[in-house]
Structure 1
């Protein structure tokens, strides 16, 4: 059976799956369990990505210490590949981690640096947890700088060992990661899955986070037989829908305003944004200033299940204010919409611990 959805229904399913509806989640772990990951990025015109992602879901009661506690003390989250993930996903990821890497050039680099690999593991075993800078670079073969990594080979080796499940991030000192052996960081009583079962369950979790998506091994991580088939009126795209999200459509409590960090998971699938939300999103961070339309790191404004504008704002810590450079309205706001955006800005300023002058919005 193929479900036929209206565009409104499709958007509502997606927004609710991303915890951006009126019913806010209660804590950091609940957000991570539903979304599957919380992206880490230091760009902080307003606040770092991981914090704005959580504020946009939980609201003013969220504090950064809650994320740190969940990851570093309670071990309910773990850091992997630039994101915090719920520990419940680790058993599903381990089979893939054990057969990593697939790329021949990476295998060759690891084989050529077997002594370097042993040095890093021995250093961590004897002295860990350690910062990257505490570990000497004894690489036999170096990879050239590529924009992500510099000349130091230690960050490369640590990232590769993390992908293999041998090393893990135990915490952070500021923005710097502290490393240890995975066996001393990850829980010891995790369930075991074979590759097929892990792959199937992981695809189901990814569909749960998406709500509705096209199956694709990379873009969505959802298989062609995950969930149930669906089409959206006016579109020829074949989607997969989370059956639980579909069943809960009538329980939808409505929408609200949310300012989305440019690296928010809802924005990842640009094609889906265009097809279902009629929103063409372009990150202008890396564009020359003269070519920017909305601003260096403008946050899309979601109102209910529609994108209504872009927020160009930044925190001036020196003056203790949230400065709004512009609110770009795709269509002129109705008075009620204007009030809702204003109220969310006031709540954001309170969360940030800075002032916000309502006169900035006219």
Structure 2
């Protein structure tokens, strides 16, 4: 076992890795600054809920403050893309260099094409690819129109009710054959052939000459797998398959990566990235970052320890073992202040969040209103190295108001938490172009926040 660390030290390592341990920069936010945050986080989760703002914009606000959201849009929608959409920790924007590695491990979709007749599925797939080869990026609705596809839609389906074209193009997306060239204002994917979205040269950087490339090659050689990796859902290490599953258990067909990457070296690349983004964590929470199997992550972590890129440590009060990024220092203090998205990477793994911060957090979006404890769209509020409050917020764009439905303080919230939160809400309203903040009388900190907003002061107890 390696060095002993306290929970406070582990907490500060985690905050530093996530770019949340220090006050925000005061200079105007540039494209380079946004890119640095994305490089630090490695991914940002995408979600369709738009009650405040699309979730992938929030992690940049939490770390940079008031910035132009177009800077993120350019990274995702303009060539050469700095971030691309794929399955990672759910639907996410990821590094282009990680695309092939993720494709070998993910290959999932919620409404698969597997239940369609084979002839129909193959015909639609071929026609979709033919259209996309000669067209601009298209949504599934536009593809349906281009193909002249008509079908009777079921009315007795309580869940997803996608037509065959959407199911097939979603399957092609999950397999990495087509990619998203961006999203429409209504958040529909605009599909294009993957090679048009992510050039092969950009994807090949995963095994290029950058940091860790030689290690990836060594891992690939040591793994004793064919160059294409485990194919057709095949087993690793002679045991049961530990890849993803489709449609309630149907194993994904895992195809060879164009750059020769196999599953073990792909797991090494992704585990390295997850450890760097986390700074410190258990096998479980590091695996969860990109939703890798725990066994593959464990093997990758031990390889990183062997190479000197990771250290096995003992965090007192945290069931182990834990692993720390060897390059991560232990900050003496944390002085950040941020409202966090429900989908922020710091709060991905709930057990880690509870262990490090003593903060039990659950998303209640899908909980019936009468059963919600804290609200619909609740943002944790980080002050220093403590989660001090939960804020249920909504942007009323018609009224130009930021609606604060509830502010629940944690038991250890300091006296000045309300004033600090008021300042953060002002910054958020400015960023969203909202002129007014309305605070409902709901929650233990609502009065303090409303009072600070009226007084126009914040920051000091």
Q: After TM superposition, is the score higher than 0.5?
A: yes
Tell me, in whole angstroms, the C-alpha distance in 2 between the residues paired with 1:108 and 1:349: 46
> Following the alignment from structure 1 to structure 2, what is the Cα–Cα distance between the partners of residues 343 and 107?
51
Contact 1:315 1:321 in 2 (8 A): yes
Compared CA separation, residues 358 and 158, structure 1 to 2 (3 A)? closer
* Corresponding position: 1:219 with 2:288: yes
Alpha-carbon distance in structure 2 between the residues aligned to 1:236 and 1:126: 55
- The correspondence for 1:90, drawn from 69, 77, 99, is 99
| Counterpart check, 1:200 vs 2:268 | yes
Equivalent in 70, 77, 91 of residue 83 of structure 2: 77
1:159 and 2:170 aligned: yes
In the TM superposition, what is the alpha-carbon distance from 1:168 to its structure 2 partner? 0.9
Deviations 1:53-84, CA, capped at 9 Å, x for gaps: 22112211x22211111111141111113211
Q: CA deviation at 1:173?
A: 2.0
Change (3 A) 1:332 1:165: closer
Output the CA distance in 1 between the equivalents of 2:387 and 2:424. 15
Indicate conservation of the 8 Å contact 2:311/2:325, yes or no. yes
Distance in 2 (alpha carbons) for counterparts of 1:200 and 1:145 = 45
- Match of residue 139 from structure 2: 131
Instruction: Tell me, yes or no, if structure 1 residue 188 matches structure 2 residue 188.
Output: no
Instruction: Say whether 1:351 aligns with 2:360.
Output: no
Q: Say whether residues 1:287 and 2:379 are aligned partners.
A: no
Query: Which stretch shifts more, 279-288 or 190-199?
Result: 190-199
Partner Cα separation in structure 1 for residue 157 and residue 358 of structure 2: 35
Q: List alignment gaps of at least 5 residues for structure 2.
A: 26-31, 205-258, 305-309, 440-448, 452-461
Normalised by the length of structure 1, the TM-score is: 0.87
My pick for the range that moved more, 10-19 or 129-138, is 129-138
Say yes or no: does 1:122 pair with 2:130. yes
Aligned-partner Cα distance in 2 for 1:126–1:145: 37
TM-score (norm 2): 0.69
CA shift for structure 1 position 172: 2.2
Kept in 1, the 8 Å contact 2:389–2:407? The answer is: yes
Tell me how far apart the structure 1 counterparts of residues 7 and 387 of structure 2 sit (CA, whole Å). 14
Q: How does 1:1-362 map to 2 (within 5 A)?
A: 1-22=1-22, 24=24, 27-60=33-66, 62-73=67-78, 74-81=80-87, 82-96=91-105, 100=107, 113-136=121-144, 149-174=160-185, 175-189=187-201, 190-191=203-204, 192-195=259-262, 196-216=264-284, 218-220=287-289, 221=292, 222-224=297-299, 225=302, 226=304, 227-245=310-328, 248-250=329-331, 254-331=334-411, 333-357=413-437, 361-362=450-451
Match of 1:323, SS state, is strand
* 336-345 or 214-223, which deviates more: 214-223
Which structure has the bigger radius of gyration? 2
State the shift of 1:355 in Å. Answer: 2.3
Cα distance in 2 for partners of 1:241, 1:307 equals 22
| Consecutive unaligned residues in structure 1, runs of 5 or more | none
CA contact (8 A) 2:140 2:166 kept: yes
Structure 2 distance, partners of 1:171, 1:139, is 26
Residues 429, 437 of structure 2: 8 Å contact kept = no
Q: How many residues align?
A: 354
Q: Once the 2 structures are TM-superposed, how far is the Cα of residue 328 of structure 1 from its aligned partner?
A: 0.8
Residue pair 1:37, 1:85 contacting (<8 A) in 2 also: yes
